[in-house]
Structure formats: C-alpha cells, structure tokens
Amino acid sequence: MSTDLTEFIERRKKELNAVILAHYYQRPEIQDAADFVGDSLQLAIQAARTEAEVIVFCGVTFMAESAKILNPDKIVILPELQAGCPMADMATGEALRAKKAEMPGVKVVCYVNSSAEVKAESDICCTSANAVQVVESLPPECPILFVPDQNLGHYIARQTGRDITLWEGYCPVHQVVSLEQLVEARRQHPEAVVMVHPECPPDVIEASDHALSTGGMLKLAKTDPAQEFIVGTEEGLLYQLRKQNPEKKFHLIKSEFICETMKLTTIDKLARSLETLEPRIEVPEDVRIRAQKALDRMIQIS
C-alpha cells in the first residue's frame, strides 16, 4: 500500500472517530489497514463494544448489517455494496416464516451468515465459533430449525446429538471441497494437521482432524505443536496464519479457495468510503429491533 494512502486512511479515521473492522478473508492490505481483524463472532463482539462513531466494515453485507443492528445510532459503512454472501441469500424472511408455520413450537437458530430479516424471524443467532454452545443452551425437548447452512447444521447435530431440521443452504465456496482433495492433500503433506471450516461437506469434516471457525484455526495453529497444517477454508486466512506463525507451514486443501465477494473490497474503495462516508448500511427499525434480540442472545452466551 502506498504511504499516501496509509496516511490518508489514518488521518480520516481520526477525523471521523472511525474504526475499521475486517474479516480474515479480506485482502492482505485490508487486513493490515484494519484496527481489528477477526472471525464473524469476534467482529460482532467488537462491533457491539466499539466506542467509535463510524464503523467501516470490510467484509460482506451480513457482517455490516449485524454491526448496524447492534449500533443503530452509528454510521456503518460497507466500502463495496455488492459484497454479499451467496449463502445468506439462500434464505428469505418470507420462506422462513412459511417454514415456521409448519413447525409449531420450533426454535430457530440462525447462522449469522443471513439477512437482517432472517435474523428478525429467529430465536438466536450463532457463528461457526459458538454454534454448538448456542444449540446446547436451548431446552433439550424443543425442536430446532437451523438456517441457512445445512453443513454447519449437520455438524452441530452430530456434536450435540440433537435432532435438527436443516435448511437447504450452503456456502458455494466451501461446498465444492471434496474428500478426494483432502486425501490428496494428506498424501502430499503426511505430517500436517488438517483443519477445515464446518461449512465444508460432512464427509470432508469427518475426514479432517479439526472443524473450526477461522478464529479457531488461528488459535489451533498457535497452540498445537504441529509444524504443518492443511487449511480447508478461504485463502485470506493464510495471510494471518503465516503472519502469526512464520516458522510453521500452511497448505491450502485445494489450489484455489476464494470467496469472490470478500475480495471485492479493495484498498482504494476503503479509502474512498472514508472520504465520502458512503455506502452506508441501513436496517428498517422494526426489523432491527427483532434481529437485535437474536444477536444479543448469542453475544450473551459467548
């Protein structure tokens, strides 16, 4: 990144009392420009705690929406409005209302990778870092509907032994990881520990050593004595893994592992958004109030 751009970003942040939050899948220069880099849970907690007046969210729409839901009086900016999450788009508020009508008494657990409207229809949110804990917090007898990620839902059902109805959504980026790719990666790096994201298909999770959120993978890489890891998630995480563990080796489970919408945010767009205070994220107040309850319940137990 040019010195001019770095200076501009630093100066505007101070003038605006702004904080830059970035997800681990963001481009390296964005991660370096951010005040805080984290997984979805860490970012939601950070957004709930911040005293900044402006939150610039380098991630995808649902993440910036969550920040706005938790901070209605603050300006929340997403530098690239097209940065959506295709999995979040696989569930709508209307479809979820129809499903709930078929399942009286159901508790809806909603992955944060979802729209504000879907959160508003849900009882509690979760991320991949706390999904098991969230499901275990619900009364053992109540039926559970998990929306929208069927792979994460399947993983939690196995971990908790709970009977969970799954929505048929998935992450197109993680869904295409195959068992053959994992086996081949193990063949090439027989000493490596395999860690995959729980958005991967069930057979891939089953054959891995650990299913973890992005933040969980970073923690394991630091604490595990292993010197080599096979990583089953978006390649942006490799930047942090290598930065924090320069002496260890990290191999992607397959050659290209990219979330295109996460990469839409560039340093130029970040600088422009700090200049113009646009594009802003807004959430209708009636939706926001109901969605906040589901997010607050999650944050309380995390």
Binding site for ligand 13P (CB under 6 A): 39-40, 113, 127-129, 171, 197, 199, 213-214
Strand, coil or helix: 233? coil
Q: What is the 3-state secondary structure (H, E, C) of 104-170?
A: CCCEEEEECCCCHHHHHCCCEEECCCCHHHHHHCCCCCCCEEEECEHHHHHHHHHHHCCCEEECCEC
Q: Which residues of 85-107 are buried (b: 16+ CB within 10 A; e: fewer)?
A: bbbbebbebeebeebbeeeeebb
Sequence-separated (6 or more) residues with CB below 8 Å from residue 275: 8, 12
* Residue 86 interacting entry, from ligand SF4, ligand 13P, none, C-beta within 5 to 8 Å by type: ligand SF4
**Least distance from C-beta 221 to ligand 13P, angstroms?**
14
Quote the Cα angle for 5-6-7, to 5°: 90
Residues 175-204 that bind ligand SF4 (CB under 6 A): 199
* Residue 128 interacting entry, from ligand 13P, ligand SF4, none, C-beta within 5 to 8 Å by type: ligand 13P
Q: CB-hemisphere CA count at 13 Å for 177?
A: 35
* Residue 292 interacting entry, from ligand 13P, ligand SF4, none, C-beta within 5 to 8 Å by type: none
Give the nearer residue to ligand SF4 in terms of CB position, either 50 or 113.
113
Q: Is 173 in the site for ligand SF4 (CB under 6 A)?
A: yes
Distance CA 7, CA 41 (A): 30
**Least distance from C-beta 57 to ligand SF4, angstroms?**
13
CB 16 within 8 A of CB 53: yes
Give the nearer residue to ligand 13P in terms of CB position, either 40 or 292.
40
Per-residue binding letters, 242-261, with ligand SF4 (x by CB under 6 A): -----------------x-x
Q: CB-hemisphere CA count at 13 Å for 22?
A: 27
Sequence-separated (6 or more) residues with CB below 8 Å from residue 226: 191, 192, 193, 248
Give the nearer residue to ligand SF4 in terms of CB position, either 106 or 264.
264
* Residue 151 interacting entry, from ligand 13P, ligand SF4, none, C-beta within 5 to 8 Å by type: none
Per-residue binding letters, 19-58, with ligand SF4 (x by CB under 6 A): ----------------------------------------
Cα dist from 117 to 18, 26, 39, 178, whole Å: 27, 25, 22, 32
**Least distance from C-beta 86 to ligand SF4, angstroms?**
5
Question: Alpha-carbon torsion 53, 56, 57, 61, what sign?
Answer: positive
Per-residue binding letters, 100-129, with ligand SF4 (x by CB under 6 A): -------------x----------------
Stretch that binds ligand SF4, among 125-133, 169-177, 203-211, 267-275 (CB under 6 A): 169-177
Q: Which residues bind ligand SF4 (CB under 6 A)?
A: 60, 85-87, 113, 171, 173-174, 199, 234, 259, 261-262
